[in-house]
Amino acid sequence: MSTEQYTVVGTRPVRHDGVDKVTGRAQYGADLQMAGLLYGYVLRSPHAHARIKRIDTSKAEKFPGVKAVITAADFPPTPERMVDLGEGDTPLSYARGNVLAGAKALYRGHAIAAVAATSIHVAEEAASLIEVDYEVLPAVLTAPEAMQDGASILHEDLRTKEFGEQTGRVSNVSEHFRHTMGDIAAGFAEAEVIIEREFNTATVHQGYIEPHNATALWNNDGRVLVWCSTQGAFVVRDVTACLLDVPVSHVRVTPMEIGGGFGGKIPVYIEPVAALLSKKTGKPVKIVMSRKDVFEGTGPTPGSYMKVKVGARKDGRITAAQAYLAYEAGAYPGAMVGPGAMCVFAAYDIANVVIDGFDVVVNKPSTAAYRAPGATNAAFATETVLDEIAEKLGIDPLDLRLKNAAKEGTRRADGPKYRRVGCVEVLEAMKNHPHYSAPLGGPNRGRGVAIGFWFNVGLPSSCNISVTADGTVNLVEGSTDIGGTRTSIAMQAAEVLGIPAEAVRPTVVDTDSIGFTAVTGGSRTTFATGWAAYEAAQDVVRQMKERAAKLWETDAASVTLERGVFRSGEKSMTFAELASKIDQTGGPVVGRGAVNPKGAGGSFSGNIVDVEVDPETGKVTILRFTAVQDVGKAIHPSYVEGQMQGGSAQGIGWALNEEYYMSRDGSMMNSSLLDYRMPTALDLPMIDTVIVEVPNPGHPFGVRGVGEANIVPPPGAIANAIYRAAGVRMRRLPMNPPAIMEAIWSQRD
Amino acid sequence: MAIVFIPTLLRPLTGGRGSVEAEGATVRQVIESLEMAWPGIRERLMENDRLRPNISVAVDGEVTPMGLLEAVSPSSEVHFIAAIKGGSAAVL
């Protein structure tokens, strides 16, 4: 456990951007105004699957106030090729196709054309005059349906790949892979209890409160300037440049403040559209999505069909585990089945494992990341099967997990061996928590537990720090601040410099003003950009020691820095005192940090949850919820707790209510926040948090990413609690009142 | 020599072996070494002098964007991973 004592790290300073946000001065993309601004509107497909035979924009173009209309034909005539947009290679036609549909509309809400006009109302009215001749095709909406022989095919050019082998099969299965470890047959032969179950989970959306927005100006000098809400300005830059076929240096992206993303604001949708409209009009063009656009036209997380089979000895030792994971990619390949497969049994040390993963295209929006993408689906299956095994064997469910918990040296089925991880510590904290032994206090109540894993990532980050004469520093970075990372990054610099967090002024800047920085995602920002800040601060310290040495006419090697005071022999000077003398000792002091770190260090989390199930209506009330997570070292404990509570609340919504409710023809029937029921503060109790600190040996301060592992266990924990409350095993998400009543009625029958 | 873990779907090329030893100071050299011992494996892993689309490589448990250029030590473990979007842990 973490025992290191720090001055700034581990404290709870007020966030640097707090005043601007609570006073409404923070600038979001929709706030942006500029001279000559036009407003863009995107026309979307009313069909889930249709061939686009003809688009006639002539009436829209003539509508008063309309300045330009575009379709996919307005992309430059680039030959088809594979492009790497940071997520592996993909055909250019697929990348462009999700921005403006080409030959086919592949989901209801697929962007077909766009209009720029003097007002948003004019643009919307004109879009209704665009005539699109569709040949409607049958839609496939789930992975099992899309995998059937004779299923309607989304992409005639898509062939199933099996690890580098083109099978030549035209199908909706983009990819099949398998992880194998040990001898699965021998493992199941050794088992004394075997449970095998099937699971289905619905498509859900990240539900960020701020819709996507983008403003673009195609300047007269050929440069494209973009302002938008994104988790990664450099991704927007690179993708926009690629789709528009301009050099990457011709695109500058300024990330505005962001009202949530959770993985859903990594993909690019409207930035290239706004840019094309700007190119045609010579004016800046702003597009702001409606909530309906967000639901129907951006990437939710995959629905899934899963089979999980686990065998164990009577003493509770798991001998074998097998998973079949078929995830819906949406309209284009790229379901999050890869990470799902990496995480499905990641919390356990199991010798014999087989995992099959299938990436399946369906007629729904192309999916995107959502907080530990793929892992929540998989853990729902594994954690409920383990609960059944514990029940069958008469073993406490936490003891069963402790007996099989992953630890340092455990090898996952996808290959890697764990370094120091905190799975055991999380389980022990759950077992020792008063919640686990508290009385339930009433009928129709039950308690469930589950755990989950997310591996976290590193990736490149850059940071510059310049010293000002009053002893403060300006910190410039490229990571969009979604969850308080300005502060968690600034605190790491402050710790190195020996100054208060408030003496660091962090600023998120555009892509011309800082070195490449990967997305705010993968729970990487406090880890990797924090590390870049650590390196930049070390660079500042090195230069400041040289300045002190110059003043004191001594060797820089003799100068030390401790808690903000430079010393050499009898002489000493605070950071601020030395900062006031930088001009006379050689001019500006600017530190630089650029990293591409390894050793991100995975995070385990666990939940204890109490529910009450109304046997007459099936309504589930969360009575008490405790979230436990190994965070490595909590840089700012309040933000860590906030991440844990936020992930838990989203996991509860995913478990109990949220789903894309689809009509047979592929229309989302609940594309508003009134009907897409996300939990609010009124629905949930206070979510208690327990921070477990098993420092990550791969980071200067021991940081592990904390943003994602917390969404993984809630559905499994809640399903297990529902079983104890109502006696029914739930194997489908969401576990909403109709689903629970159906389960209760089927059991009675 | 480094230990290379053979993806399940490539094991027919290595006589069913789940892991093999291979020489090489970089991933590229390791693949060349594998090809000498198990002809055909290079084509499944590489295309146009780079890793195939949708395949990533992890050295000592870390997926690396360096791909074929990543350094490998004699004590390294090398895994080839199906890098479906998100599967490479590259951008999440």
**Which residue in chain A is spatially nearest to B11 when comparing CA positions?**
A180
- The mean predicted confidence, pLDDT, of chain A is 96
Q: Where in chain A is the domain with CATH 3.90.1170.50?
A: 32-137+210-259+265-297
Considering the domain A304-456+601-748 in this protein, what is its CATH number?
3.30.365.10
- pLDDT score recorded for residue B88: 37
CB-count burial class (<10 Å; 0-12, 13-18, 19+) for A120: middle
**Which residue in chain B is spatially nearest to A84 when comparing CA positions?**
B53
Contact A672, A291 (CB under 8 A): yes
> Is pLDDT of B92 > 50?
no
User: How far is residue A609's CA from residue A625's CA, in Å, rounded to a whole number?
Assistant: 5
CATH architecture of B2-82: Roll (3.10)
Tell me which chain B residues have a C-beta less than 8 angstroms from the C-beta of A163: 7, 9-10, 44, 55, 80, 82
User: How far is residue A307's CA from residue A96's CA, in Å, rounded to a whole number?
Assistant: 34
Across A724-739, average pLDDT: 98
Which of B10, B81, B90 minimises the CB distance to A86?
A: B90
- Is 3.90.1170.50 the CATH classification of the domain at A32-137+210-259+265-297? yes
**Which residue in chain A is spatially nearest to B58 when comparing CA positions?**
A416
With bands split at pLDDT 50, 70 and 90, how would you rate the model's confidence at A86? low
- pLDDT score recorded for residue A162: 86
> Is pLDDT of B90 > 70?
no
Which residues lie across from A263 on neighbouring strands? none
The tens digit of pLDDT for each residue in B42-82 reads 999 998 888 887 788 989 888 887 889 999 999 999 999 87
- pLDDT score recorded for residue A440: 97
- pLDDT score recorded for residue A23: 97
Domains of chain B: which residue ranges? 2-82
> Is pLDDT of A604 > 60?
yes
- pLDDT score recorded for residue A88: 61
Task: Kindly determine whether residue B77 and residue A415, on different chains, have CB atoms separated by under 8 Å.
Answer: yes
Task: Kindly determine whether residue B61 and residue A339, on different chains, have CB atoms separated by under 8 Å.
Answer: no
Question: In this structure, what token pair is assigned to residue A577?
Answer: 């005192």
Which of A88, A357, A458 minimises the CB distance to B88?
A: A88
Q: Which of residues 170-189 of A touch B (CB under 8 A)?
A: 174-181
| Residue A438 phi, psi (nearest 5) | -70, 145
Q: Which of residues 414-443 of A touch B (CB under 8 A)?
A: 414-417, 419
**Which residue in chain A is spatially nearest to B43 when comparing CA positions?**
A164
Distance from CA of A373 to the nearest CA of B (A): 7
Task: Kindly determine whether residue B86 and residue A455, on different chains, have CB atoms separated by under 8 Å.
Answer: no
Number of other CB atoms surrounding residue A576 within 10 Å = 16
Which of A82, A266, A339 minimises the CB distance to B87?
A: A339
User: How far is residue B16's CA from residue B86's CA, in Å, rounded to a whole number?
Assistant: 28
Block residue for tokens 């069913």: B16
Question: In this structure, what token pair is assigned to residue A656?
Answer: 């109990």
The tens digit of pLDDT for each residue in A423-452 reads 999 999 999 999 999 999 999 999 999 999
A330 and chain B: CB distance < 8 Å anywhere?
Answer: no
Contact A357, A178 (CB under 8 A): yes
Across A218-240, average pLDDT: 96
Which residues lie across from A550 on neighbouring strands? none
Tell me which chain B residues have a C-beta less than 8 angstroms from the C-beta of A359: 84
- pLDDT score recorded for residue A80: 87
Which residues lie across from A629 on neighbouring strands? A605, A691
Smallest Cα–Cα separation from A21: which of A244, A190, A259, A184?
A259
Distance from CA of B31 to the nearest CA of A (A): 14
Helices of type H across A523-586: 530-552, 575-579
Across A93-103, average pLDDT: 95
pTM equals 0.96
**Which residue in chain B is spatially nearest to A232 when comparing CA positions?**
B91
> Is pLDDT of A104 > 60?
yes
Across A508-537, average pLDDT: 96
Interface of B with A (CB under 8 A): 5, 7-11, 18, 43-45, 47, 52-56, 58, 61-65, 77, 79-92
Cβ neighbours for A584, distance < 8 A, ≥ 6 positions apart: none
| A578 vs B53: which has the higher pLDDT | A578
Contact A152, A140 (CB under 8 A): yes
- pLDDT score recorded for residue B84: 61
| Residue A321 phi, psi (nearest 5) | -150, 140
Tell me which chain A residues have a C-beta less than 8 angstroms from the C-beta of B45: 164
Task: Kindly determine whether residue B7 and residue A459, on different chains, have CB atoms separated by under 8 Å.
Answer: no
The continuous run of DSSP H or E covering A200 comes out as strand A193-201
Tell me which chain A residues have a C-beta less than 8 angstroms from the C-beta of B43: 164
Cβ neighbours for A452, distance < 8 A, ≥ 6 positions apart: A343, A347, A372, A375, A376, A379, A383, A604, A605, A606, A709, A710, A711, A712, A713, A716
> Is pLDDT of A209 > 50?
yes
Which CATH number does the domain A18-26+458-595 belong to among 3.30.365.10, 3.10.180.10, 3.20.20.70, 1.20.140.10?
Answer: 3.30.365.10
Choose, out of A80, A159, A177, A516, the residue to mutate when testing the contact with B (most B CBs < 10 Å). Answer: A177
Task: Kindly determine whether residue A415 and residue B9, on different chains, have CB atoms separated by under 8 Å.
Answer: no
Tell me which chain A residues have a C-beta less than 8 angstroms from the C-beta of B83: 88, 338
Task: Kindly determine whether residue A338 and residue B58, on different chains, have CB atoms separated by under 8 Å.
Answer: no
The tens digit of pLDDT for each residue in A22-70 reads 999 999 999 999 999 999 999 999 999 999 999 999 999 999 999 999 9
> Is pLDDT of B87 > 70?
no
Q: How far is CA A706 from CA A139, A456, B92, in A?
A: 38, 8, 14
Tell me which chain B residues have a C-beta less than 8 angstroms from the C-beta of A335: 84-85
> Is pLDDT of A525 > 90?
yes
Secondary-structure percent of chain B, ordered helix, strand, coil, rounded to 5: 30, 30, 40
Task: Kindly determine whether residue A89 and residue B5, on different chains, have CB atoms separated by under 8 Å.
Answer: no
A694 and chain B: CB distance < 8 Å anywhere?
Answer: no
A81 and chain B: CB distance < 8 Å anywhere?
Answer: no
Task: Kindly determine whether residue B84 and residue A416, on different chains, have CB atoms separated by under 8 Å.
Answer: no
> Is pLDDT of A514 > 90?
yes
User: How far is residue A158's CA from residue A145's CA, in Å, rounded to a whole number?
Assistant: 17
Percent of chain A, pLDDT > 70? Answer: 99
Tell me which chain B residues have a C-beta less than 8 angstroms from the C-beta of A342: 87, 89
Secondary-structure percent of chain A, ordered helix, strand, coil, rounded to 5: 30, 25, 45
Q: Where in chain A is the domain with CATH 3.30.365.10?
A: 18-26+458-595, 304-456+601-748
Which of A162, A263, A369 minimises the CB distance to B9?
A: A162
Number of other CB atoms surrounding residue A358 within 10 Å = 26
The tens digit of pLDDT for each residue in A349-393 reads 999 999 999 999 999 999 999 999 999 999 999 999 999 999 999
- pLDDT score recorded for residue B56: 85
The end-to-end CA distance of chain A, in Å, is 51
Cβ neighbours for A77, distance < 8 A, ≥ 6 positions apart: none
Task: Kindly determine whether residue B87 and residue A337, on different chains, have CB atoms separated by under 8 Å.
Answer: yes
Smallest Cα–Cα separation from A187: which of A311, A344, A307, A314?
A311
Q: Exposed e or buried b for every residue in A707-741, given b needs 16+ CB within 10 A?
A: bbbbbbbbbbbbbbbbbbbbebbbbbbbbbbebbb
Q: Exposed e or buried b for every residue in B2-18, given b needs 16+ CB within 10 A?
A: bebbbbbbbeebbeeee
> Is pLDDT of B89 > 70?
no
- pLDDT score recorded for residue A367: 96
ipTM surpassing 0.95, yes or no? no
